Amino acid sequence: MKVDEILAALTAMFPDAHCELNHRNPFELAVAVVLSAQTTDVSVNKVTPRLFEKYPTPQALAEAPLEDIEDCIRRIGLYHNKAKSIQGLARGVVEQFGGVMPQTMEELTSLPGVGRKSANVIMSVCFGMPAIAVDTHVERVSKRLGLAAPKDTVLEVEKKLMRKLPKAEWSHAHHLFIFFGRYFCKAKNPQCPDCPFTSFCREYKAQQKQAEKLAAKKAAPVKAKA
């Protein structure tokens, strides 16, 4: 299946694929992305309304008492470290960029707690730039569909996707892959019987091989004991 056929199939499955972290501006998205490490977007969306209401600007969050930030985000895991991270991010935005979120990869990744993946999300979702953020879902799906090699690093996956997908589709494809990985091709128990990609999916082929081996083992005659 060609890349554009994969994208068309995914678009038919998830016509509303979009960023699921609630935010009203680039700074709020940056904070939400940092908070989303090792937790779900749904959990993050439960704590950010109160946090953003109390501290609506980088300046306000930069000056907030740390315990108060912790209190706002207590319901998600790792809240001690995450409170420090988002305050560090806010201080970076204030001190390095006068309180205005920057827009380039170089500037964004110079902020504390913002890596390449987060920068790509912000550039694509908030500033409409073509970018592919490779998170755990994008990585898994890309490897299963053969768009990247099993041992590729996250950066290698990103580079391969940028080479193989039309630039105009990068941001959309990123959301499609996330939705597909989050709701259909999950890490455990993917919905293979209903998937349009079984004919070339590596994971599916591996599962089939395993099932055939097991069946052959079961069918083999049991040797009588001497």
Assess 203 for contact with ligand SF4 (CB under 6 A).
yes
Phi and psi at 103, nearest 5°, equal -120, -10
Q: Which secondary-structure segment (H or E) carries 161?
A: helix 154-164
User: Which string of x and - marks every residue 159-188 that binds ligand SF4 (by CB under 6 A)?
Assistant: -------------------------xx---
In the complex, the smallest distance separating the C-beta of residue 180 from ligand SF4, rounded to whole angstroms, is 8
The catalytically annotated residue of 82, 135, 143, 160 is 135
Assess 142 for contact with ligand SF4 (CB under 6 A).
no
Q: Which secondary-structure segment (H or E) carries 50?
A: helix 41-54
Closest CA to 66 of 75, 57, 74: 74
> What would you measure as the largest C-alpha separation in the chain, in angstroms?
84
One-letter amino acid for residue 134 of the chain? V
Neighbouring residues of 215: CB distance < 8 A, sequence distance ≥ 6:
none
- Identified binder of ligand SF4 from the candidate list 64, 132, 134, 195, rule CB under 6 A: 195
In the complex, the smallest distance separating the C-beta of residue 185 from ligand SF4, rounded to whole angstroms, is 3
In the complex, the smallest distance separating the C-beta of residue 44 from ligand SF4, rounded to whole angstroms, is 25
Is the dihedral angle over the CA atoms 120, 112, 98, 48 positive or is it negative? positive
- Closest CB to ligand SF4 among residues 79, 197: 197
Contacts to ligand SF4 by CB under 6 A: 144-145, 184-185, 190-192, 195, 197-198, 201, 203-204
